[in-house]
Amino acid sequence: MKYIKSKLNLLVVAVVFSITLVTFSSCNNDDDVVTTTEEEGEVVVDTDDSDFETTDWTAETHSKDADANFDEVFEDNAVKRLDIVVTEARWQSMLDDMTNLYGTFGAGAGGPGGGLTETDEDPIFVPAEVFYNGKEWYRVGVRFKGNSSLQTSWQNGILKLSFKLDFDEFEDDYPQIDNQRFYGFKKLSLKNNFDDKSMLREKVATDVFRNAGLVASHTAFYTVYVDHGDGPQYFGVYTMVEEVDDTVLDTQFSDDDGNLYKPDGDAASFALGSYNESEYVKKTNEDEGDFDDVASLLAIVNDGSRTSDPATWRTNLDAVLDTDVFLKYLAVNTVVQNWDTYGRMTHNYFLYNNPDTSKLTWIPWDNNEALQTGKMGGSLPLDFSGLNSTEWPLIGYLYQDAVYKTQYDTYVQEVVDDAFSISTMQSLYATYAALIEPYAASEVAGYSFLENSSDFQNAVNELNTHVTSRAAAVSDYLD
């Protein structure tokens, strides 16, 4: 089997023996020098390490021309291994950047003042090698990712951090990797299952959205090893998540030319007076100053015709928002209990203006906090009691409308009868828990959110209890 030492200006191949896995290691000699410059969230490499050949490149595995291979990358009933190899100097630049953003590693939340640090900056990308199933992907853009989960992990001294991979991020520096893909995928997220001792919630919640017929990312379990100079270090069980602005649009819509937004900030609430183009963050068509679709949605949902002429209001709203999709999403999200999104937080969803309908379509995102009552006031009740409708009009005003409420109630019943039924979910929990338990048990201190050997199974037991309690809650609500 191949054992690959990755260092600047040199690739050394040697043969070693392994019982089950291909392992990879990187090293740097003391005289290795890497000078880097931070520029717009990435590292500009000043040294010449471009003399390499892409010997593992095949059309199926590396080419942009290959279709996305979901069976390979997002296999449900497997735990696959991914190795990230980064030079010692580049790894240190990533850590230094995190220190600049969030303070000293392990120093606690927010330093002396407490709380989380607010920043609009993403961590830097660096070139790294990615190894999977005996093949190498070259000079892949790798960075840490996340918001509160990222800095909380960092400040608590846990290096099991989420990663974003961009396989042609550095193609301008390395022409050999022009349009490099990973089985058809340009970008992927490796989520660290923050604050989830079952390590199941990100995957399972996304499964439920997809099984309910909604557009949502594919997900899969991976073990991640990072070699930053001393050999592969086990970083633990991760959930691989498909990126919405990559293959989700390509494969789940017939046309990917529409505006894709990832709202973040007050404007993401769509409350009257909250309009702010800078907070409707565009992920496609970024150079076009066209925000008419989100501006129309905000204006119409808050229009006075809602009470004076509900039929006209619904007609106008249906013309700009796929209300059927939103109400189904709302039913799923509320039944499964997912607090870290619209209704409690002004983030963690996408809106895509589907060219086929010219309507904004709701796409869920970031579900590691789902399947629990939750924090920050907890998940919303099924009847949205206590919700301030003027602050969250897409929920409050639609639920107050008799036609939309009937549609929502129908979807609530469908969710517990099908995608989130007790039998379906408990079977899924049993399958997934058995699949990942050996890898969860192998996590090590400093790279795990588990505190003792019983944490994992206790968390799975809580998920089984939760789905039973939600069926009862739906029954009480509909009765």
Q: What is the SS3 assignment for 36? A: strand
The yes-or-no verdict on residue 30 having pLDDT over 80 is no
Structure tokens at 279: 């907070």
For 271-321, write each residue's pLDDT tens digit: 999 999 999 999 999 999 899 999 999 999 999 999 999 999 999 999 999
The yes-or-no verdict on residue 417 having pLDDT over 50 is yes
d(CA 248, CA 69): 13
**Do 195 and 369 contact (CB within 8 A), yes or no?**
yes
Structure tokens at 125: 């990308």
Q: What is the SS3 assignment for 64? A: coil
Main-chain phi, psi angles of 367, to 5 degrees = -115, 20
Cα Rg of the chain, angstroms: 23
The yes-or-no verdict on residue 95 having pLDDT over 70 is yes
The yes-or-no verdict on residue 473 having pLDDT over 50 is yes
Structure tokens at 142: 């790798």
To the nearest whole percent, how much of the chain has pLDDT over 70? 89
Q: Which strand (E) or helix (H) includes residue 129?
A: strand 126-132
Show me where the domains of the chain are located: 2-192+216-252, 254-479
For 317-341, write each residue's pLDDT tens digit: 999 999 999 999 999 999 999 999 9
d(CA 298, CA 320): 10
pLDDT confidence of residue 3? 35
The yes-or-no verdict on residue 39 having pLDDT over 80 is no
Structure tokens at 183: 């089985």
**Do 80 and 222 contact (CB within 8 A), yes or no?**
yes
DSSP class of residue 147 equals S
Residue length of the chain: 479
Compute the average pLDDT of residues 23-32.
Answer: 38
For 179-216, write each residue's pLDDT tens digit: 999 999 999 999 999 999 999 999 999 999 999 999 99
For 98-152, write each residue's pLDDT tens digit: 999 999 999 986 544 456 788 889 999 999 999 999 999 999 999 999 988 999 9
CATH class of the structural domain 254-479: mainly alpha
To the nearest whole percent, how much of the chain has pLDDT over 90? 85
Structure tokens at 208: 């439920």
